[in-house]
């Protein structure tokens, strides 16, 4: 991929959807599950099961505290990790205590799926398997827990738990792979949409659609920004005299010269026909004029194989400087106006 294509701000729809998936899972556990657990906790106070009530109420409050911190910070990765640790601690303490009439094991089954949704396939599998090992030890050595589970419960629980983890891992692993494939496909399609097929440079669509949004989102990364437009002199004569294939060759050579003659942070595009444009972030007008003059000289010295002899081709340049996103259109128009002043001044010059 040409380096200038890295300037494309690719659509973040897929990433935003995945972020929402994790956020809604987090909010479900934090709000809905916490509310259910809290209600059960209050109920067990009246049943005089104070330890169980304390476990449930404290877990519900911890879940709610984590979601409040998430809303304040917006850090989804940290919130999901903390929530997964809280869920694991809740499961371990609940199984240790036994729950209501030793029904704690029945509460465990939904949580592996939640862990995968919050953490992804790899980290979710590690946490779920670690949790299962600790639970297996609890059930293997009943003296380690307050609760007393029947032997047939323990063996069936471990088998069922491993089944849920395996199915959850398969589902999350292939969901993530599908997500990455779709993101890559979207990236390729958008790159093609913003690429000039002949030269490999950015195209007019990029300037009209993506660049304004880029400048609005990150103005400090660009301004002041100098805009340089150039038009190949007498290009129609090249096509008429030597054919369109020769003209295409000239356009590709000029494109390569612009790539090598600009900085990595500059954005170079084919504006249309034999007209090119490039944007130079953090560049004042005088520096832009110097760069345009350098490129003009480089092009004038370039020999083009047209017909039986090498010929020289020139270009006219127009330069203007943009200081804010709202001035982008008018700056391009000013650079275009200056370009045509260069044409009227005899071509092969910078204005």
Verify whether residue 172 is a known catalytic residue.
no
Rounded Cα–Cα distance for residues 32 and 26 (Å): 10
SS3 state at 9: coil
Find, among 289, 287, 283, 281, the residue nearest to 230 by Cα. 289
For residue 42, whether the previous peptide bond is cis, meaning omega lies within 30 degrees of 0, is no
Q: Please choose, from the candidates 75, 47, 78, 43, the residue with its C-alpha nearest in 3D space to the C-alpha of residue 57.
A: 43
β-partners of residue 106 are: none
Between β-strands 275-280 and 303-306, what pairing exists: parallel, antiparallel or unpaired?
unpaired
Say which residues have a Cβ less than 8 Å from residue 231's Cβ, sequence separation at least 6. 274, 275, 276, 315, 316, 339, 343
Contacting residues for 318 by C-beta, under 8 A, at least 6 apart: 228, 229, 230, 334, 335, 336, 337, 338, 339, 340, 341, 342, 350, 351
CA distance 5 to 144: 61
Long-range contacts of 182-188 (CB under 8 A, 24+ apart): 182/14, 183/14, 183/15, 186/10, 186/11, 186/13, 186/14, 187/10
Structure tokens at 154: 């323990």
Buried b (16+ CB within 10 A) or exposed e, 145-174: bebebeeeebeebbeebeebbeebbeebbe
| DSSP label of 195 | B
From the list 274, 275, 293, 341, the catalytic residue is 274
| Residue 5 DSSP label | G
Catalytic residues: 274
């Amino acid at each position: 991929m040409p380096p200038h294509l890295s300037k494309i701000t690719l659509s973040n729809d897929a990433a935003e959807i995945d972020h929402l998936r994790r956020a809604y899972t987090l909010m479900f556990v934090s709000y809905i599950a916490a509310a259910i657990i809290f209600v059960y906790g209050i109920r067990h106070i009246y049943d005089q099961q104070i330890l169980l009530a304390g476990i449930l109420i404290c877990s519900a409050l911890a879940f709610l505290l984590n979601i409040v911190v998430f809303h304040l910070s917006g850090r989804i990765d940290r919130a999901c990790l903390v929530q997964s640790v809280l869920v694991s601690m809740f499961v371990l303490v609940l199984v240790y205590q036994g729950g209501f009439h030793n029904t704690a094991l029945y509460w465990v089954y939904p949580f592996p799926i939640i862990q995968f949704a919050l953490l992804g396939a790899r980290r979710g599998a590690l946490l779920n398997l670690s949790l299962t090992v600790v639970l297996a030890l609890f059930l293997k050595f009943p003296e380690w827990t307050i609760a007393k589970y029947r032997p047939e419960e323990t063996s069936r629980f471990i088998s069922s738990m491993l089944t849920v983890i395996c199915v959850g891992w398969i589902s999350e692993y292939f969901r993530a792979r599908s997500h990455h494939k779709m993101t890559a496909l979207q990236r390729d399609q958008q790159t093609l949409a913003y690429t000039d097929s002949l030269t490999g440079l950015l195209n007019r669509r990029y300037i009209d659609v993506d660049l304004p949004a880029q400048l609005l989102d990150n103005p400090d990364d660009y301004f002041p920004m100098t805009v340089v437009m150039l038009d190949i002199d007498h290009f129609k004569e090249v096509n008429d005299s030597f054919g369109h294939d020769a003209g295409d060759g000239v356009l590709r050579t000029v494109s390569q010269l612009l790539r090598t003659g600009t900085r990595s942070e500059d954005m170079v595009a084919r504006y249309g026909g034999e007209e090119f444009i490039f944007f130079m972030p953090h560049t004042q007008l005088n520096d832009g004029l110097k760069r345009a003059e350098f490129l003009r000289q480089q092009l004038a010295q370039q020999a083009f194989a047209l017909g039986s002899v090498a010929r020289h081709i020139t270009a006219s340049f127009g330069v203007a400087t943009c200081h804010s996103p709202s001035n982008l259109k008018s700056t391009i128009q000013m650079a275009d106006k200056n370009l045509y002043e260069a044409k009227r001044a005899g071509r092969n010059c910078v204005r």
